[in-house]
Structure 1
Amino acid sequence: MLKGMFTAPDPGRVRLRTSARAVLGVGSAVTVSHLATGSLPAAIAGGLAAMLALFTVGDATVRAQAVTTALLPLVGLPVLALAAGLHEHALPRDAAFLAVVFAGVHARRWGPRGQALGIFGFMTFFMAQFLRAVPQQLPELYTGMLLSLVAAGVVRFALWCIERRNPPAPVPAPLTARGLARPTTRQAFQNTVACALALGVGQLVSDQRWYWAVGTAWWIFVNTASRGETLVRGFRRVVGTLLGIVVGLLVAVPLHGAPVPSVVLVAACVFGIFYTAAPSYSWMMFFVTVMASLLYGLLGVLHPGLLVLRLEQTLVGAAAAGLALALVLPVTTHAATDAWIRRALVAVRQCTAASARRLAGDAQADPAPHVAELELLLVRVRVSLAPLLHPLSPLRARKARALEVMAHLDVCARQARGLAEVAADPEASHDARLTAACLRVEAALHALEPAACTDAPAAASGVAAPQHHPGAERALAHLHDLERALAALAAPLLSSPRAPLAGT
């Protein structure tokens, strides 16, 4: 696991630069908050707000990111006032927390901005429990949060701007889905039930630190789409938390909240959270747990029993998430994976059609966006297949099927990418053989997913040129390999998911 964290690909060193920027942004936010308020809780609140702003805001452009960051206080400040005002009233506080959970998950229907605002609202309520905020503290907490968001924004958008051009991740459900057919609505109910179970059992375990169980149940559902994905995420969270507690016992407890080493280690944890978030959820949770231990040390309440309690509450939250998945509107791994695969095949078809039109002389046809979408979809397919590929998975036939599907889809992506590169060559010209090859690819796609390929193929447009251009030869090679990969997908996709594949 450690080797994978350091060997995971980092094109353009984006993860490295984003992590270093996070340390600068959070460090600046904490410094400004502490200087302005002189309050440790306000500095911690400001640091967490800055970290959330840098971590959760993921819009496609810098302009959209700035707008979302500016909207965070409109959600966070009222939620913080609500949580502080209900601090001494357990039942209303719990009901309000669950309402924030439901609204925060349901907000994901509005894309990256809704996701960021929903997470910020939930974590603001969570933070109020962590700090035991009361109404008298609101002025300093407001000041700390607002100044921190400004400081983080200056770092992100003025001092060190790293623009993200990737479109938001697509969803498998049609945009016309309503009610419980909409993934965000279904997950809102699932997550609320999970958090309610975690809250109830967590309070039986500890009436002071119950919110850890709720936080675990909430975060397990983020960026998951199926029962299997969520269970694997819960397992990884428990593993990362356990490792973090071990280090907390060995490092944070002996420090006794010493300011300088604790602050240095918190900065290292912030870097680790951002650097490992994409490749390893377990390592991210490791750094989160170590950071929480150090913060409790700074607040003067850290002791070994508190870290053991954190593990117990993590187990409670993970178990609550598992029960909610099994009982409330469950979505199987097969159903979720199948939806992502079908969307990937649509992207292959669109890329092929656009490439063919481009080679036929249509300068407006551009396969590049479809290639980018295909790459994003394949990431989601891998995430969805992770439960079947997990070393502890007992489903050998389904694991073999998943490996074969992923291998063939990788070939499809590689050939689609190569075809798009050929089509981008201004010297490449149309060849009559391309029409037949594109139609064969279209037929192979129809055989795999007739419903997803209702449009007529655009491969036949243009006038065939008698010469055989080298660009056309390369395009034909990509199309032939793509056709073979699609044909090979028929066996694992169209047969029963539990039946063994031929030769296995």
Structure 2
Amino acid sequence: MLKRVFVAPDPGRLRLRSGARAVVGISSAVAVCGLVGHSLSAAIVGGLAALLALFTVLDPTVRGQAVTTALLPVVGLPVLAVAAALHDYPLARDLTFLAVVGAGVYARRWGPRGHSLGVFAFMTYFAAQFLHTVPDQLPELAVAVLLSLCVSSTVRFGLWCYERGRPVAAAPALPQGRGLGRVTTRQAVQAAAGAAFALGVGQVLSDQRWYWAVGATWWVFVNTVSRGETLVRGFRRVLGTVLGIVVGFAVALPVQGAAVPTALVVAVSVFGIFYTAAVSYSWMMFFVTAMASMLYGLLGVLDASLLGLRVAETAVGALGAGLAVLLVLPVTTHAVTDEWIRRALRCVHACTTEAAARLAGTPGADPEPHVAELESLLARVRLAVSPLVHPLHRGRERKARAHGVLALLDDCAREVRSLAEIAADPDASHDARLAAACWRVEAAVEALTTPRGARQAREPQAAVPHAVGHPALAHLNGLERALEAMAGHTKPEEAAYLGGAR
């Protein structure tokens, strides 16, 4: 599993850059909080605000990212104030927390910005429980949040804005509908129900750390759509937490809050969170748990029983999420998987068309934005298919189909990336065979993504040999072969890629 993290494709070294920039931005924010004399609690809140701003703000343009970052305190500070005001009123505190959970998930209907603001609102309320925030602390915490966002934004948009001048992959939108047919609405109800279960059972386990269970439920729902995805995410969260607890016993307990080793482990954990998030949820949770263990050591409350409680509360939260997606307005794995694969294939076609147009000299043609989008879509496909390729899944035929589809989509992405690199070469020249090859790719994508009765009639294209000569032809022919092979994984009468997997 660890090998997969380090050999996973990292086009443009974006994961590496993201992890390194996060360490710089968050460390700088915490350091500035310390320099102005903020308390440890304020520094932790500031560091969390910087982390969330760098981690969750994923608008497709730099300007959009700046706007969303500016809106974070507009949402977060009122939530922090409410959480502090309700500190001594448990029933109102708990009901408000569940309302924040539901509203935060529902906000995803407004795309990346809604997602970012929803996460920030939830984590602000969570942090208030983590630190037992009371109203007297609000002025200092508010200043720490604003100061940290300014510092991390200076790093992100000034000192190290690697997104400027290059396409940024927008987070894929969820399939839309109306009322309870809208996925975000169903998820908001599911998340609130799961969080209510986690809150109740979590308080039975601990009247001080119950919020861990609610947090586990929340993060299991982030970036998942179907019940299969959510169940796998819950399993991986528990696994990552257990692995992280090992670091707690091996490192955090002996260190017990010593400043230098704590800072080093937290910095490594921050890098690990950002570097692994796109490829392995288990390892991301490993680093999150390791960081949390070190912070509890810094606060002086870490012991073996606390680490054991963390595992128990996480399991309760994952169970709450699992029960919710199974019993409350479930969304099937099959429908979601099919939709994401269709989108990825259409993006492959768009990449091919733009690359061919650029090679032909068409002004403004650029495949790079589509290549970036394809990377984002493939990550979404892997998440959607994860229930079918999980070791605990017993359907051999469906598992084999799922593995086959993932491998072929990876082949398509590899060919598209190479094609885009060739198209970016100013010396690349147009070859008449490219148009024919692109037409065949378009026809193959249409055959895979459009029901047979809805396909447009086309004039047969004259056969063009798969000739060697222009380097782009090799990649176009590779795309053709991958798309033809993918046809073997479909059920034409249903246009279902994984054989009706549920």
The bucket for the TM-score relative to the shorter chain is 0.7 to 0.9
Query: CA 1:65–1:429 in 2, change beyond 3 Å: closer, same or farther?
Result: closer
Residue number in structure 2 paired with 1:225: 225
Identify if the C-alpha distance between structure 1 residues 391 and 299 changes in structure 2 by more than 3 Å, giving closer, same or farther.
Answer: same
Deviation at 1:388, TM superposition (A): 1.7
What pairs up with 1:310-329 in 2 under 5 angstroms?
A: 310-329=310-329
Q: Structure 1 CA distance, aligned partners of 2:295 and 2:134?
A: 19
1:119 shift after superposition:
0.7
Q: Does residue 1:299 correspond to 2:299, yes or no?
A: yes
TM-score under structure 2 length normalisation: 0.87
Q: Greater CA deviation, 143-152 or 128-137? A: 143-152
| Correspondence list, 1:379-458, <5 A | 379-416=379-416, 428-429=429-430, 431=432, 440-451=440-451
1:200 aligns with 2:200: yes
Identity rate, percent: 63
- 1:363 CA displacement: 4.5
Report which stretch shifted further, 227-236 or 370-379: 370-379
Q: Assess, with a 3 A threshold, how the Cα gap between structure 1 residues 70 and 488 changes in structure 2: closer, same or farther.
A: same
Cα distance between partner residues in 2 of 1:447 and 1:475: 23
Equivalent residue number for residue 489 of structure 1: 486
Q: 2:171 aligns with which of 151, 169, 172?
A: 169
Assess, with a 3 A threshold, how the Cα gap between structure 1 residues 454 and 106 changes in structure 2: closer, same or farther.
farther
Structure 1: segments with no counterpart, 5+ residues: none
Q: Matches of 1:162 and 1:370 in 2, distance apart? A: 18
Contact 1:33/1:148 (<8 A) preserved = yes
Could you give the per-residue CA deviations for residues 450-487 of structure 1, whole angstroms, max 9, x where no partner exists? 25976787998xxx9xx999898666665555444333
Give me the whole-angstrom Cα distance separating, in 1, the residues matched to 2:194 and 2:287.
Answer: 24
- Residues 459/126 of structure 1: CA separation in 2 closer, same or farther (3 Å cut): farther
Q: Deviations over 1:325-352 (max 9, x none)?
A: 1012222222211111111232344445
| 1:109 aligned partner | 109
Q: Deviations over 1:23-49 (max 9, x none)?
A: 222222222223334422111111111
Per-residue CA deviations over 1:81-112 (Å, capped at 9, x if unaligned) read 00000111111111111111111112222222
Alignment of 1:260-271 (within 5 A): 260-271=260-271
Deviations 1:297-352 (A, max 9, x none): 22222221111111100000000111111012222222211111111232344445
Residues 256-294 of structure 1 deviation map (CA, whole Å, 9 limit, x = unaligned): 333343233323322322232223222221221122122
Q: CA deviation at 1:134?
A: 0.8
Question: Residues 208, 240 of structure 1: CA spacing in aligned structure 2 closer, same or farther, 3 A cutoff?
Answer: same
- 1:17 and 1:84 map into 2 onto residues whose CA distance is 36
Q: Matched residues in 1 for 2:457 and 2:417: separation? A: 22
Tell me the equivalent position of 1:160: 160
The letter for the 1-side match of 2:347 is A
Deviation at 1:127, TM superposition (A): 0.1
- When normalised by structure 1's length, the TM-score is 0.87
- Residues 348, 374 of structure 1: 8 Å contact kept: yes
1:110-140, Cα deviation, whole Å (9 max, x unpaired): 2222211111110000000000001111111
Name the amino acid aligned to 2:47: G
Change over 3 Å in CA distance of 1:458–1:240 after alignment to 2: farther
Q: Given that residues 434 and 472 in structure 1 are in contact (C-alpha distance below 8 angstroms), is that contact kept between their aligned partners in structure 2?
A: no
Instruction: Decide whether the 8 Å contact of 2:422 with 2:428 is kept in 1.
Output: no
Distance 1:454 1:184, change over 3 A: farther
C-alpha change, 1:135 and 1:276, in structure 2 (3 Å) is: same
- Tell me how far apart the structure 2 counterparts of residues 411 and 3 of structure 1 sit (CA, whole Å): 20
Mapped partners of 1:22, 1:228: distance in 2: 31
**1:71 positional shift:** 1.2
Q: Secondary structure at the match of 2:36?
A: helix
Larger mean CA deviation between 322-331 and 208-217 belongs to 322-331
SS at match of 1:494: coil
> Partner of 2:252 in structure 1?
252
* Alignment of structure 1 residues 350-389 onto 2, 5 Å: 350-353=350-353, 363=363, 366-389=366-389
Paired AA for residue 152 in structure 2: A
Equivalent-residue separation in structure 1 for 2:157 and 2:127 (angstroms): 26
Mean CA deviation greater in 231-240 or 435-444: 435-444
CA distance in 1, matches of 2:211, 2:296: 15
Conserved in 2, the CA contact under 8 Å of 1:252 and 1:297?
A: yes
Look up the match of 2:347.
347
Cα gap change, 1:408 to 1:291, in 2 (>3 Å): closer
* Structure 1 Cα separation of the partners of residues 413 and 12 of structure 2: 21
Cα distance in structure 2, aligned partners of 1:450 and 1:7: 34
Q: Count the aligned residue pairs.
A: 492
For residues 105 and 393 of structure 1, the distance between their equivalents in structure 2, rounded to whole angstroms, comes to: 28
Q: What is the identity, as a one-letter code, of the residue corresponding to 2:482?
A: A
Aligned partners of 1:296 and 1:77: how far apart in 2?
24
Distance, in Å, in 2 between the alignment partners of 1:382 and 1:430 is 35
Structure 1 residue aligned with 2:211: 211
The amino acid that maps onto 2:169 is P
Instruction: Assess, with a 3 A threshold, how the Cα gap between structure 1 residues 480 and 45 changes in structure 2: closer, same or farther.
Output: closer
Alpha-carbon spacing, 1:454–1:101, altered in 2? closer, same or farther (3 Å): farther
